[in-house]
Amino acid sequence: MHLLQDAAFGDRIITLMAALVLVLQIAAVGQRWIVSSIRIFAVQSFLLAAIAGIIAYFNHANHIYVAAFLTLVIKAGLLPWLLEGLVEKIRIRREIEPLINAPLSILISGCLTLVGYVVASSFYHPEETAGRAALGHNTLAVAVALFLIGFFTILNRRKALTQVLGLLSLENGLFLAAISLTYGMPLVVELGIFFDVLVGVLVLGILVFRIREAFDSMDVSKLRKLRE
């Protein structure tokens, strides 16, 4: 019972989950099947929601519950569902070779994780580690790494859809950073951001659909008509 009041315990849990998130992200880098990378994203989002929930629970910050809930619904539920629907519609399941082959990509994401740690440590404030207010602070590195790796995924993948997935996991990184640094933004902002993400994915989805129809493939590296 007392375990559930111990900030240190929560902190460990959060760290563990964050590590999981990172692992998932790196796994997604090597992933070939679109559907499974969508699922990976869903799980990742679920973990994030959980982290958010734990932070909210441990320092009684109610508005983070909202954020957690939204993440759960939109990112772990709605978006994966939409995307899988899209995959069904356009019947393209398998990602063709990424620009950089899997082992090398994974190596690079390792390096990016390192960069994440360097960046995070540059404004890491040890005096804040004590006490419950500091919950999840050392997940920041994971967040930055998540961001960078997501970015890397976008420029590494050929398929329009996987680029969208990369964009989403990059957003996840931001979310993790947000909750772990400042326990989220003001609620209005959170709502706005979620709304934007939703609309953005819809727009991109429509785009993907049209591209599929126009070029009967989703390979964006074929989009090279506009050039000097």
- What is the C-alpha separation between 97 and 50, in angstroms, rounded? 33
Amino acid letter, residue 186: P
Among 18, 55, 79, 171, binds other proteins (CB under 8 A): 171
In 47-99, where do the E strands start and end?
A: none
Question: Cα torsion for 203, 205, 206, 207, to the nearest 10°?
Answer: 90
Q: Which residue from 8, 81, 129, 215 is in contact with other proteins, where contact means CB under 8 A?
A: 215
CA distance 205 to 40: 19
**Interatomic CA distance for residues 118 and 200, integer angstroms:** 31
**Contact stretch for other proteins (CB under 8 A) within 18-26, 39-47, 77-85, 110-118:** 110-118
Member of 31, 45, 139, 156 binding other proteins (CB under 8 A): 156
Q: Which of 15, 27, 185, 219 binds other proteins (CB under 8 A)?
A: 185
* CA 146 – CA 208 distance, rounded (Å): 24
What is the nearest approach in angstroms of other proteins to the Cβ of residue 198?
10
Q: Which is nearer to other proteins, 131 or 228 (CB)?
A: 228
Which of 17-25, 37-45, 83-91, 220-228 is the region at the interface with other proteins (rule: CB under 8 A)?
A: 220-228
CA distance 144 to 129: 19
**199: contact with other proteins by CB under 8 A:** yes
What is the nearest approach in angstroms of other proteins to the Cβ of residue 55? 12
